Structure 1
Amino acid sequence: MTPLAIAHRAGNSLAGLHAANTLGVDVIECDVHEHRGRLEVRHLKTAGPLPFLWDRWELASASAPRLGLRELLEADRHGTTFMLDLKGRRSTAARSIARLLHEVARHEPVLVCGRYWPSVELVAELPYARAVLSARNRVELARLRQRVTEEPAVHGVSIHLSLLDEKLVAGLLHHVEVVMTWPVNDEAALDVALGLGANGIISDEPDVLAQLLARRT
C-alpha cells in the first residue's frame, strides 16, 4: 500500500484545511471535542471555569470563536478524507458525531481514531466510517495488539513512533490495513517510519508531507 500522507491538526482551522488540500495530502486530521453540547474542532483544551484554552506551550481566550465540526464538514469542497480524533470519554459525544456525519458527511469515507476505543467503535458502526485505534504508551500498545488479533474488524492503528519496530509493524499489517505513526516532523523521522514499514505518516509539517508525496511519484 502506498504510504498515506496525513496532515496532523490541519482540520482544526479552515485555513489549515485549505492549505492541506492544496498540498494534496490523502487525509486531514482534526481533534473533536464536545463542549456544552457543541462539537468543536481544536487542539487546545478547556480549563474548567477559567477563561482560557490551553496546551503545553499555548494559551488562548475561551471567548475566541471556535470552529465547529459541522462548519468544517460543510466547508469542504474537495471530497476530503477526514480523520476525526475523538477527545474525551463521553459516549454522548460519539453518538452526536455519528448523527452529524449521517446528516452532512455525504456518506464519504471518514476515519475515526482515538485512545478511548469504545467511542471510536461506536462512530465506526456507520458503514462509511473506519475505525483507527490509537496507542500512545506500552500499556495501550499491549491492549491494542490483543484487540486486533482477537477482534480483527479494525481498519487501522495509530501508534507513537517510539513504540514501533519492523516486527511489530509487519505483525499488525496481518490484521489491519493501515499502520499510522506520529510524530513524523522531519526527514530523519520520515526515513525511520518508512523503514519500519509504516504506511500512514502523520505530520504537522507541510514540508515533510511534501517530501513523502514527492517520493511516491
Structure 2
Amino acid sequence: MKKTALFLLVPLLSLAVLTGCKGTDYEKHLSDVRSDLFAAETEDFSLTLSCITRETPYAADGVACNTLKLIEIAVKPSKSTDGSKSYRIELSGEPAVSGELSYRTVKGDYFLSQGVSAFPEGSVTVRLSDDGETTEITATSVKTEKTLSPEEALNFAVDAERELIDRMTAGSTFEGEFTVRLMRRSRNYYFVGITGKKENAALLIDAETGEVLARRVR
C-alpha cells in the first residue's frame, strides 16, 4: 500500500515542480520599442513616422520602468537647410497628432514627438505646411504580412543570447532591459539591444526570419 501511495505521489510532485517553474516574462523588461515605421517621400522632402513605446524618463540603465506610447515624426528636406524654415504637421484621423516641428542640427531634419493613446495601422494621411503651403501625402507602413512582431524578435534575441541572459539573471530575477526597434533599409530589420548592469549586447535581426545577422557585445 505504501509503495502504491509513493508511486502516485512522485508524478504529482513532479507536476507541482514543473508548474512552479514558470519562465521569465522578458516582455516586462522592454523599455524602448519601435513597433511600426511609416514612410513617404516627395521631390521636396522625405518623411518617417515612428510608433514608439518607451519608458519615461528614458535611461539605459538596465531597469525597465513605466512606458508611454509616442508618435515621432521626422521630415528631412531634399536640399540642405539651415533650419530657418518652419514646418507644421497634422495627421488626418486618429490618433490626433499636430504641432510645429523643431529643427535638429545634427541630423538636419525637423522633428516632432507627441504622446498618443493608440497607433495608426497600414497607412496614415499627413498634412505638412511650409510657409503657407500645405502638402498632403500618405505615409505607408513598411511592415508586411511576414514581418515579425517586436515580441517575436525579442524571443529570437533571447534564444541567441541565452548565456548572456543567464549572466544577467540573479536567482529567478532578470536584471536587465531590452530595446527593440523596427528598421528599414532595403528590407526590414530589427535592432535588439540588451542592457545589463555590467554587460551590453546589440543584435541586428532579419525581421522576417529572426536570423541574427550581426552581433556586438561589450
- Flag the structure with higher helix content: 1
- Flag the structure with higher strand content: 2
* TM-score grouping bracket, smaller chain normalisation: under 0.3
TM-score norm. by structure 2 comes to 0.23
TM-score norm. by structure 1 comes to 0.23
